[in-house]
Each structure stands twice: as C-alpha cells, then as structure tokens.
Amino acid sequence: MAITTDETKANDDDQVYQKGVKNLCENGVTKVPKKYILPEFDRADEVLQVDLTMPNLKLPVIDFSELQGPNRSEVLKSLTSACEKYGFFQVVNHGIPNNVISSMIDVSARFFELPIEVRSKYMSSDLTAPVRYGTSFNQNKDRVFCWRDFLKLVCHPSQDVLVHWPSYPTDMRRLAVTYAKEIKNLFVMLMEAILESLGLWGATMNMTEEVEKLIKQFQDGSQQMVVNCYPPCPEPHLTLGMPPHSDYGFLTLLLQDDVEGLQIQYKEKWVAVQPLASSFVVNVGDHLEIFSNGKYRSVLHRVLVNPAKSRISVASLHSLPFNSMVSPSPSLINKANPRRYKDTDFACFLEYISSFEPKRKNFLESRKLL
C-alpha cells in the first residue's frame, strides 16, 4: 500500500517531536505545532488561577533549622497542616550548601545545551532504564505533547547506575552525585519529621520497630532525579510544560531556578508557587497518601511555560526500595479509620503507566478501596 505524502510528512514530524522541544526551538519554531496544542478545556484557564494576594492564602514555608531545635513541636504542627491542607510546602534553611544547588542547576542547563546528537544517545523507551532522555510527559502514550524535555537519572543502587549516567558535560556525574546524596539526606530527615507528625513516634514515645525499619528503608530506598527543561514557548497559552499530575513516591523535593511556572491545585483552583531562593518545594506523593491512609494528600500540580525564558528544574523522587510494598501504616488504621487503599508496588505502577495515558491522579484512584 502506497503511503500518501501527508502520512509521510506526519511520520517525519513525529520523529522530530520525539527528539524534544529544545530541538524544535533550535530549529527556529515560531508557532506551537499542532502536536502540542491542548484542547481548550485542558489549557490553563485564567479564571481558575488564583493569585497570591488573595486573603488567607499563604503557602507554607518550613524552616528546617527550627525543626532541629527547641521549636520542633511547633514546626511539626505546621508540617502536619501543610501536608493535610496543601500536600505541599517549601523548605528553607535546609543546610544544603548553595554551591551544591547552583552547580546542579548550572550543569543541568549545560546538559540541555549539548548537541541533540549527544542528548539523544540517552533516549530509551525502557521505563526502567538507569538514564533516560525524553520529552513530553509520557511520549509513548501522550496524544498531545507537552512543552518539556527531561533527563531521568535513577540514583540507586549507585554502584550499578552511575556508570550509565551521561559522560557529558564532563562534570555532570560528579555534581549530580553530590546533589543526589545531599537531597537524599534531607529527604530522610523530612520523613523522620513526617512520621513524627503522624504520631508514629515523638518526644514522649520512642521509635517503634515499624518506624526504625521504615527509616532504614528510606535510607536505602529508591531515588530518581528528573532534570526538566522548559524552553521558551512562542504561544504559551496553547500548551503546558507538564499536565496536572501527582508524583508516585513518598515525597518529591523540587529544585527550581528563578523562573516561575509550577502551580499546585488548591480547592479546585491553581496557585503559582513563587520561586524562593535557596529553597526546595516539597510535595506529598501517592505513596505517602497511601501510607498515611489518606491523612496526607498527594497534590496535583502542573507547569506553565514562559514566552521569553527557559526554565530548569530538578525533581528528586523518593520512596521505599524498588521491590517493597507500600501499604497504609497498621498504626494508622483502626475501626474508626479503616484501610482506604490497596497495597501498591512499583511493578504495578509501571504496568499502569505503560498501558494508559497518565492523567491526573488516576493511578492513585485505582489503588483506592471503595
């Protein structure tokens, strides 16, 4: 059967889109191609966006150094309320040196400046590959593409994965490993505080075996870093950098540069998260929602693109070891508060995302007990 010229062109275009948005921009794109144009109801409708000057809307900021001092119990209260109300908070005074943070942003930007031939060497359709360069949200499934390229780095176990990480820029491995270790430590300390905020241990209650085991599992748990690049977009209102989604792990710690773009959903509206120098954005993921039996909520978030500026972010997703089962904590279930989620592991998550177009919190919905 002869292929018509139109079909051939569509196939050629698809091949180009698979290489990413940065590549399109480098080739001088001046309009958003059809492939990236969202149906109107999926676009960022301004009516549904809230600005931060609205009374009573103050996004929570946690001072990590205060958490380590005499005010711990006060900070734990703010942490509880942030995780219940927003599923999200920002951390300042976390102790990670500024040069580690700025170097990570800088080397990430330099990775995306490399020629497409070098970047695309890491393209892979294997969702479990230790390193994966790609574009959109799930490029094998998305009907409409998003305006985002990414580099995913599996960080654990380091002795197996590091050799696969990009060898260019030549300082990337060194800087990304340093960053990954620092952010992992911060994650573990935040989880200790979150387990305390859930009442699983505390000032008057020693750590139980359950808590000690969990903390060990977090220390040795899965970690994946996603370096995101959102090039400037000629018609930003037509598309998104990332569609509304929740993250699958316990917590995501996000480092962003100084360009705005991230929004979280709060009471059916979208709230912009202002970049705060030297801070991390932390959000509750699906696994923590399951573990807390729904007390803490994994938050829907999305990314808008910018007409003039390129934006870089580095998301670090953390959870239990890859083969572990995530279940509601037995200590948080009782007659009055029965189990609300099925057990979940990574295998069932991967199976889910390879068979469906990922949308919003569908995966988590599929784990809910009716």
20's contact among ligand OGA, Ni ion, none, with CB below 5 to 8 A by partner kind, is: none
Q: Rounded to an integer, what distance in angstroms lies between the CA atom of residue 283 and that of residue 280?
A: 10
Q: Which of 309, 340 has the CB closer to ligand OGA?
A: 309
Cβ-based nearer residue to ligand OGA, 207 or 259 = 259
Any idea what the Cα angle at residue 300 is, between residues 221 and 59, rounded to 5°? 95
- Pick from Ni ion, ligand OGA, none: which does 255 bind, CB < 5 to 8 A by kind? none
CB burial string 97-119: b at 16+ within 10 A, e below = eeeebebbbbbbbebbebeeeeb
Q: Which strands form 262-266's sheet, in the order they lie side by side?
A: 49-50, 269-272, 262-266, 301-303, 242-245
CB-nearer residue toward Ni ion: 186 or 253: 253
Q: What angle do CA 151, 154, 156 make, to 5 degrees?
A: 160
Among residues 197 and 256, whose Cβ is nearest to ligand OGA? 256
CB of 301 to ligand OGA, least distance (A): 5
Cβ at position 255, least distance to ligand OGA in Å: 9
107: partner contacted, choices ligand OGA, Ni ion, none (Cβ within 5-8 A by kind): none
CB of 242: closest distance to Ni ion in angstroms?
A: 7
Nearest to 318 by CA among 214, 259, 248, 255: 248
Partners of 302 in beta bridges: 263
Binding residue for Ni ion, selected from 149, 196, 247, 257, defined by CB under 5 A: 247
**Residue 254 interacts with, from ligand OGA, Ni ion, none (CB under 5-8 Å by kind):** ligand OGA
Q: Please name every residue paired with 315 in a beta bridge, in sequence order, or none if there are none.
A: 226, 254
* Residue 286 makes contact with Ni ion by CB under 5 A: no
- In terms of DSSP bridges, do strands 61-63 and 88-92 run parallel, antiparallel, or are they unpaired? parallel
Report the partner that residue 293 touches, choosing among Ni ion, ligand OGA, none (CB closer than 5 to 8 A by kind): none
> Under a CB-based contact definition with an 8 Å cutoff, are residues 188 and 219 in contact?
yes
Q: Which is nearer to ligand OGA, 292 or 316 (CB)?
A: 316
Residue 232 C-alpha from the chain's centroid: 20
Taking the complex as a whole, the smallest distance from the CB of residue 302 to ligand OGA amounts, in Å, to 8
Give least dist CB 23 to ligand OGA, A. Answer: 19
Nearer to ligand OGA, 214 or 303 (CB): 303
3-class secondary structure, 234: coil
Contact call for residues 197 and 84 (beta carbons, < 8 A):
no
The residue whose Cβ lies closest to Ni ion is 247
153 binds, among Ni ion, ligand OGA, none (CB under 5 to 8 A by kind): none
Residues 6+ apart with CB under 8 A from 320: 214, 217, 218, 221, 222, 250, 287, 326
Q: Would you call 325 exposed, middle or buried from its count of C-beta atoms within 10 A (0-12, 13-18, 19+)?
A: exposed
User: Using CB under 6 A as the criterion, which residues of the chain lie in contact with ligand OGA when the complex forms?
Assistant: 226, 228, 242, 247, 254, 256, 261-262, 301, 303, 313, 315
Partner from Ni ion, ligand OGA, none binding residue 226, C-beta < 5-8 Å depending on class: ligand OGA
Taking the least distance from each CB to ligand OGA, the nearer of 38 and 242 is 242
Which residues of this chain interact with Ni ion, rule CB under 5 A? 247
